[in-house]
Structure 1
Amino acid sequence: MRVIVLGSGVIGVTTAYYLARAGHEVTVVDRQTGPALETSYANAGEVSPGYSAPWASPGLLFKAIKWMAMKHSPLVMRPKLDPAMWTWCIKLLANANEDSYQINKSRMVRVAEYSRDCLRALRAETGIRYDERTQGTLQLFRTQKQMDAAGYDMAVLDRYGVPYRLLDRAGCVEAEPALALVKEKFVGGLQLPGDETGDCFLFTNRLAEFAAKRGVEFRYGVTIHRLESDGRAVTGVVTDQGTLTADAYIVAMGSYSPKLVKPLGLSLPVYPVKGYSLTLPITDAAGAPESTVMDETHKVAITRLGDRIRVGGTAELGGFDLTLRPERRRALDHVVSDLFPQGGDLSQAEFWTGLRPNTPDGTPILGKTPVRNLYLNTGHGTLGWTMAAGSGRLLADAVSGRRTEIEMDGLTVERYGRAAVAEPARPAAVRPA
């Protein structure tokens, strides 16, 4: 079968690899000059099944107000006259209750745990290297109140069979020796030993090389204008270099996916949530993190990637604006210098921003759609790197007509019911930014 994958981030490339592995003829199309040059370029580096949870949790509104009042706020809202933003926020708050949280969490963990297993198998199969480490995540608590509240998180982890260890201050220093220099700044932590780390950009580029060896054609520098449809199925992708045709089409364009499929009658509740990162060279290996430390107060992750430290955080709602804001850098500077003052050289740091494609319920949108030959692989939010391998494998199985290894119930666009499906517009035209 001929398949076109739209998007060459980590989601699109893993999908293409598994499709080629299944024997399909695959073409990947992207407007960039190479793979992983947008959201996959400089994310926090975490592969974190243990940290897979929806933002929409009980008490979210009060937490959000508290976060936005902080000096180095982990949450920023830049109000716009954008109905999509406010509709998404309303849906997010509608999911912020215990029943919805448990349903959404179970779906996310199902995908994330499966994806971690797929990633391990992929490493064994290909020998791929990407500055990976398998030493877990340490969620660091600066206050006793945070430490006491960990009981709720542990109950959730128990429910889903996710391994963890609650550590006192000494245990945190044993897991991350560089924290001995600042041990007065925290009281304890929650370690998730099943989590991993790695450079998503390196992984995506190297997997693209493996995919090319399996026959995948990568067409870079191609602007996608619209999907053509006969009302039942997609008949082609109109680009600035002509119309491309295939038997099946997979949309893996992150935050830009809703614009592309809306004229086909699909309304995806995916909205961009902007994140920032710093990447700085390590100057003292003994003063750098061993794996990932997640500062619970500031919601910032500090990750060791080979001879570099990646610092990632902030959730900013403001549409598709990619402005690098100095105040967001100051927040990341503060956290890494506060916890790892001797680890890296901030003067040499690369400051970056990207758009995470978030759904209001936290779960990605995967698999078949009501349009006969159109498939979706989008809406992963902050967990695209965590869920990439599993999502790619699920899409390859769905396109191939094979039974997926985990249940797809609650993962497809069908979970949104009639709100997600309408009569297609004619003509089906859109020009993503």
Structure 2
Amino acid sequence: MASPADDKESTPLLFSPKGGGHLDPANNGVSDGPRRRAAPPPQPLETHYFASKFDPPQIAKVSTNSSKYRSENLATPIVKKIYSSYSIIKDAIQPMTKPSLADEKRQGKIYYEDTYNDLPWRCSCGTHHKDGIWLNHSDKAGLVMSSLVWLMIVYAGFTVTLLVNNNSLPSHVGVIYCTLCALALASHAKTALTDPGSIPKRAIPNEDNASDPTVKFCNLCETYKPPKSHHCRICDRCISGMDHHCPWMNNCIGTANLKHFFLFLIYVWTASAYALVIFGMNYFLCNSEECIFPTGLVALVRLMTFMCVGALIFTSNMLMSVFWGIMTGMGTIDRMKKQEDKTFDESEEEPMAFTDIFGIGSYFTWFLPIDPIFNDYDSVMGYSNAERLQRERSTLV
């Protein structure tokens, strides 16, 4: 007969013992006993030792071919990749999100931060310093005249396209002419929608003009007035390096958009001369029937010829004025004032550097209607502000 000690039976690790048994790790926590060998106990579902649900290892085992196994194994590398991407983006953005200059000064850090181009942008059209898009909509005549420019250029390109489609002109002629028209339209848009060099209210004399005793201020704009700048009554702003106000552009021609205006004149002059050469060769030098334009297009060609002659004369006159301004280094208004006062001497005037018009980019960018990048913005525009002036003085120390 078995003793009471032999009648005691250890309980599995996950099964609650009734009388408190002992565990035998050599036999997976189960001691041999008569009842254990007779019939295995039911599968344990809960343990009082851990006071929680616990799945046995044989139940928790998941097949490597199941979707659950694949999702669990793929989740970890995906999360790691997302986190690493987030860290890279965070490290790249963090240097851009600097605190304001006032906050840095309060913390004892003094450094230069040019916030002139970081002002809040407002989606509005106008010539006010708070407007996000430069557009002179107060001059109704200027809006009509600038629209006529687009209408005439589109008309010329449309006429040449019709001639090419009717086999009256070679296809490469149409491609070249339409390219010139597209560049002219892009230059006109940039001239009209680009700030010509309006002087902000916080402008101050730059290093070159700081020692000038004759510092001028505009009573209308209530701001500093650099040399060669004038107040435009139509735009209601002081424009740096103002040449004139062009109604065909519906904008002033100043330092910042002189390149676009010059390119517009070049492309219109080239397109007009090219069209007149094509029509002249077709009319005077070609005697075959293939050179005869269709009857329905003759009227369009005659009107286009008249437009090209007028555009060629106008752009030639304006190009001469622009070239003279570049050679003398002064705009039309300053030149007319000196001629009126009889103080104009061309030999004493310094020519304007081409880099002050087309920027310091490659020569390829000179022929494209894109904004120029100046080597010294303050020197070209004729004014500065407190932040930029502080930077210049700190770099010289």
- TM-score of the superposition, structure 1-length normalised? 0.23
Structure whose alpha-carbon radius of gyration is higher: 2
Larger RCO (CA within 8 A; separation ≥ 6)? 1
Higher strand share: 1
- TM-score of the superposition, structure 2-length normalised? 0.25
Higher helix share: 2
